[in-house]
Amino acid sequence: MSARRWPTPEAFRADELVSFGPYEIILELGLEELDDGPQAHGWSARDVLSHLVGWHEVAAVVARELVAGPTSPRKAAADAEWEARGDEINDEMLREWRGLQLEAFRARARGATADLRTALAEVPVERWWGDEEYFDYFNSEMQAHYGDHRADLEQVLGRASA
């Protein structure tokens, strides 16, 4: 089980808002900065945000399934798919998001994150906060994932240390 640095589900959700905030700067970039600005291991600013919110879309489905019942078939399928295909999934996700017009990209990114937050708030606490597997999953798609890509964010925004 992941170490829980949050005493309550509300603290987890409040911290998620703060942790994701710096990534929202990407939504304000112009098209040139979004796609042709500094790169992080070959990823543009669009790619960094698309990667995070693309997984938010999956996590929102998982959360909605947990509202309806104690397990998520989508999580099981996503786990199996990740084991079988790994980074191919990320590459497909990035290709899809790269094809979006600027306003469609912004709207979908904002919507994906809002959908996840709304869905998670509706999940009975015992089904995610009280369940080690699902807590770890949501943490891995939210706060832990943001931490994994913080250096990428700084790089694509041109703020990386030399």
Residue 2 domain flag: no
Q: Where in the sequence is the domain holding 22, given as residue range(s)?
A: 9-156
How many domains does the chain divide into? 1
Inside any domain, residue 3 = no
Domain assignment present for residue 88? The answer is yes
Would residue 149 count as lying in a domain?
Answer: yes
Q: Which of 100, 120, 102, 148 is nearest to 14 (CA)?
A: 120
Give the CA radius of gyration of the chain: 16
Residue 62 covered by a domain = yes
pLDDT, one tens digit per residue, over 9-46 is 999 999 999 999 999 999 999 999 999 999 999 999 99
Residue 158 near residue 21, CB atoms below 8 Å: no
CATH number of the domain encompassing residue 17: 1.20.120.450
* Amino acid 61: pLDDT: 98
**What is the band of 1 on the pLDDT scale with cuts at 50, 70, 90?**
very low
Query: Is residue 91 in a domain?
Result: yes
Residue 4 lies in a domain: no
Per residue in 70-87, pLDDT tens?
999 999 999 999 999 999
Is position 114 within any domain?
Answer: yes
Q: Which residues of 146-158 are buried (b: 16+ CB within 10 A; e: fewer)?
A: beebeebbebbbe
